[in-house]
Amino acid sequence: MTIEYWGAAIGQEKSVAIFNAAHKDVQIKYTQISAGSAGGYSKMLNAVQAGNAPCLGQISFDTIPSFAASGSLEDITKYAEGSKDQYSPVAWQLSSLGGNVYGIPVGLGPMALYYRADLFQQYGIEVPKTWDEFQADAEKVKAKDPAAYLATFPLNTYDLGALSQQAGAQWFSTADDAWKVSLNDDPSKKVAKYWQGLADKKLVVPEPAFDQAWYTNLQSGRILSYVSAAWTGALLEKNAPGLKGKMAVAPMPQWKEGEKVSGNRGGGSVSVLKGCKNPKEATEAAVWMTTNAESVTSLINDTGIYPAAISGQKLPALTAGSDFFINSDKTAEIFSTAASNIPEQWVWGPNMTSLQPKLNDGLKVIGSGQGTISELLDTLQKSTIADLKSQGLSVKE
């Protein structure tokens, strides 16, 4: 039996080769496709409609509800439920909707603070344990060097989403076959007010992370830190080699001192696309690739994921750390603690393909000094409800 699998992550074919070498009756035929936003998702959806889709597809957590709502995914609950305890609870939640399972989790994005340890020492600032301390540090940096910034302003959906999730927000939820939209709930407004305050005082810089200019600014010392996911470390090593021995990782700042709450940025699943003739075998293959030690080690090394499988988070590929960071002996524990302290209530909505660009564009405008995050969330709250209704979805207001 041959199971087709379409994915966009570079290096994923090595995990597939490991699976094929270990199995005789089931083989996976892997095809590299463009990233979802670059046409990969459209290719999958078109294939589903044409009736010639692969059995497996790589889909990010935020896109699973859209695929499920359009009827493009198989409900694999009866094949997958026995594997639930092998994965981080939040990863399983993000792969499910309304109690039904629509994907096998691959990677997760627990958040922490990446910071220039050498410059923190130079500026005489302590690693912030709370968001109040984070603001105080930002003020000290600005006072000592008006051209430097502690961090960047969250200019995209995933940063703002993870920060809001940590605060207890729940942008979407489902009940009684209806969607509830809460983009402007109290926790989200708290996060919005906080970052708006930093932006208004010019304590954070409105420049997009992961651009080449951003890597340059980190290396030059213009930007001192960034709150981001576990997979960010590999990107820093590749794109900002001048930071080796200067960077460190610390737990994400907290709203209440002593807590350990994190957020999730990124990650995704291997889902079974509608029309798959062998959904049981496809599900089992996805579980094997995301839990087998050799396969997950390959995914860590070759694709840069932080494993959603609990056993994967204990593999030497993660726990050995990297000498890129001066506290490499502590990074694995920091992210492991973060992964186990991500709030599980978070659900992405079924309209993220349209909401994401609206939120991203709005945040860029706010970064330029026009409007506020709170106003943007209020506007998107209304337009999202209208959007879901226009899709024929039930909305509970």
Q: What pLDDT, in 10s, does the model give residues 295-351?
A: 999 999 988 899 999 999 999 998 887 889 999 889 999 999 999 999 998 999 999
Which bin fits 371, alpha (ψ -120 to 50), beta or left (φ > 0)?
A: left
The reply to whether 2-106+267-319 and 111-263+345-390 are identical in fold is yes
Domain locations along the chain: 2-106+267-319, 111-263+345-390
pLDDT at 353 over 90: no
List pLDDT tens digits, range 218-273: 999 999 999 999 999 989 999 999 999 999 999 999 999 999 999 999 999 999 99
Superfamily of domain 2-106+267-319: Periplasmic binding protein-like II (3.40.190.10)
List pLDDT tens digits, range 17-27: 999 999 999 99
- Helix, strand, coil abundance in the chain, percent, nearest 5: 50, 20, 35
DSSP state of 222: S
List pLDDT tens digits, range 84-121: 999 999 999 999 998 899 999 999 999 999 999 999 99
Which fold is adopted by the domain 111-263+345-390? D-Maltodextrin-Binding Protein; domain 2 (3.40.190)
Task: Pick the closest to residue 377 from 60, 132, 164 (CA basis).
Answer: 164
- For residue 114, the model assigns a pLDDT of 97
Number of H helices, E strands in the chain: 17, 15
Question: Could you tell me the two tokens for 365?
Answer: 């405008």
- For residue 176, the model assigns a pLDDT of 83
- For residue 224, the model assigns a pLDDT of 97
Percentage of the chain beyond pLDDT 70 is 100
CA distance 2 to 29: 7
